[in-house]
Structure 1
């Protein structure tokens, strides 16, 4: 950290822990996104933002020096990496992926969970159904092209014993062509995203909403990193959970609070969840621990701001993850649910450019806005106010959804 000092209770030193969603990409992607989009936002909003390398350590990250509103702020950003776990979960054969499709669809449909999710937002449910439909279309195309190739072989003018051999050969051609077509689709998944999304939803559904052991172990490591930072000379420790990383953040922070690892006189601890998809997990029968953590964290004094936008078709926009999961208590204090309001914070030209780029919009929370409102990712992560102070007195979105919708509301002890 630099030698800047906090004045008038403002933040001068901050640690940011970013928890990505289900993403197999190297964390340098997030550094480059922060660098390029931060420079763009700084030029639009009129502040200074400079990135520099972070010494090698337990986590991957970078340092940020900012001057905003006349205040100097030094921030250190760490990416809590679980992309290796994601990659391992995606290393399935084509037949295994189709088996995942059947199991995952059965988990969500047979339990009635899919129908209840549709009550909240159709966008993320359509996003969940997309890989199912796309993979079935790919299978159908492969079968039809294989059948066409087999029919062409069968037209060859041979009879007798050769005709019988030709019949067998046509079946072999059918299967071979179908396999080739399916492999082609798999290689082009960077364009279709069918396999990627199927693996994403299957990872949460395979244990019916419970965390796999390898993820629990990694989350414990993340908790240790955050606890260590809470013992440093800082003004704020900010945890950011994006997409699937939001529900990981809920459980990690709950564990820290329950274990008494949040010092009462240490840095301010804050939680920012972005583009969350919590109901996709918390609505599943086995997500007892997550529901317990949502219930617990919502009652703590720690500020928790949940930012989504109706323009993000992959997130459960403006759905209070605690309330819709059916675990709200009389002592609930958080989260503060607000909208990034893409149609207002992006100019008409920029919105027109991004509107149909669904996956890009899911990352807009980490990017620049050319008509910024009170949500600015770079002011939050590198600015002079804690998350709690920035949104003190801010009313929640009037269009938030806070009606219980989950069939399963039981919690782990």
Structure 2
């Protein structure tokens, strides 16, 4: 528990503010426990700066309960909506299959024209997308060169056939070693991520569609509980999954007297999907959700996050902004301002860590504070009422594919 020197006492007879949070991770093979421990650690660091009290307790296999007082007693139940098993299945590829994924994914993005348009939108995430391609090709070239050199040497000493076998064994062994080091360079991990997105040209695979239906049912059940807010948080690839889940949820109809519904998208990479030819479902969901008054949608990115489409309005840049568009409210987490110079210097070159900064503590927080949003006494709508969008947001409709059929 983190405490201030003078925590506010809970008024007698006062009902704590109650919230349900549903967190949809990005393309991540790790279990919910990782997010619980991250929340515990970073909440303590944040409250050491901003004050208040907060404690966590496990709540089922996929969530935790937060008891907090950040000015008023609040109880928040956080559920991680798990699709890590689907991610793990898509990552279960051999070396040859991964190189085939590389070719197929590059062909999809280059052949469709999506890559050129995405480069015009934001270069950072596209450099991140080209990174695994470059590293895997470099690994293949090094392995090939080593195999040729070893094979030639072995063949000269023994027999050409034995040299060929030795060269092939050396090349394959080196490729296996490179893959074993991927926890340091993430080339295979990122390749599987982009290949998963591109496999069906932007359409969701059946297993993922079935899981999204399960997510929708779990969120819908929360509207029958005595809570003040249902908050859906989508991070990275989880942001576009949340768009589709919420669009379906609202199409199905919410109860007449329902708690506030908030949607917080963090570090989104929506254009990586919506710019592909067959992402009809996502584009339709973006257009639909952007007009709805049942939800408050706040989109948070930061130019310092090279893995996200920072300050790009995902609806507008996808070319599907309809008349009457209300959402999202696009704001910046402004890492260079909300992190001290010392903290920023320590993190600025840790690209994957920065992509998770939205879920972490800021030592100079602004109006974006993940723990105040998820454990504080204001709904998302109340917290950002009157907030103007970032002046540097990008709204140019650069997408070639705009069909929502």
Give the alignment's TM-score, normalised by structure 2: 0.96
Residue in 1 aligned with 2:177? 184
State the Cα distance separating 1:155 from its structure 2 match.
3.1
Equivalent in 240, 247, 256 of residue 254 of structure 1: 247
Displacement over 2 Å in runs of 4+: 4-8
Cα distance in structure 2, aligned partners of 1:392 and 1:199: 39
> What is the aligned residue count?
395
State the Cα distance separating 1:27 from its structure 2 match.
1.3
Instruction: Check 1:411–1:191 CA distance in 2 against 1; reply closer, same or farther (3 A cut).
Output: same
Residue in 2 aligned with 1:101? 102
Cα distance in structure 1, aligned partners of 2:185 and 2:221: 41
Residue in 2 aligned with 1:345? 338
Residue in 2 aligned with 1:320? 313
SS in 1 for 2:55: strand
SS in 1 for 2:144: helix
The reply on whether 1:41 has 2:46 as its aligned counterpart is yes
Instruction: Write the deviation string for residues 117-148 of structure 1: whole angstroms up to 9, x where unpaired.
Output: 01110000000010100000000011111111
Cα distance in structure 2, aligned partners of 1:110 and 1:329: 28
Instruction: Check 1:333–1:5 CA distance in 2 against 1; reply closer, same or farther (3 A cut).
Output: farther
Instruction: Write the deviation string for residues 77-136 of structure 1: whole angstroms up to 9, x where unpaired.
Output: 000000000000010111110000000000000111000001110000000010100000
Residue in 1 aligned with 2:56? 51
Instruction: Write the deviation string for residues 364-393 of structure 1: whole angstroms up to 9, x where unpaired.
Output: 000000000000000000000000000000
Cα distance in structure 2, aligned partners of 1:52 and 1:155: 66
Cα distance in structure 2, aligned partners of 1:174 and 1:26: 40
Residue in 1 aligned with 2:260? 268
Equivalent in 273, 281, 293 of residue 273 of structure 2: 281
Cα distance in structure 1, aligned partners of 2:105 and 2:255: 41
State the Cα distance separating 1:264 from its structure 2 match.
3.0
Structure 2 portions without partners, runs of 5+: 1-9
**Contact 2:156/2:163 (8 A) holds in 1:** no
Cα distance in structure 2, aligned partners of 1:358 and 1:326: 29
State the Cα distance separating 1:6 from its structure 2 match.
12
Instruction: Check 1:350–1:212 CA distance in 2 against 1; reply closer, same or farther (3 A cut).
Output: same
The reply on whether 1:237 has 2:230 as its aligned counterpart is yes
**Contact 1:236/1:267 (8 A) holds in 2:** yes
**Contact 2:155/2:161 (8 A) holds in 1:** no
CA RMSD of aligned residues (A): 1.5
Cα distance in structure 2, aligned partners of 1:333 and 1:35: 34
**Contact 1:11/1:235 (8 A) holds in 2:** no
SS in 2 for 1:50: strand
Cα distance in structure 1, aligned partners of 2:361 and 2:21: 18
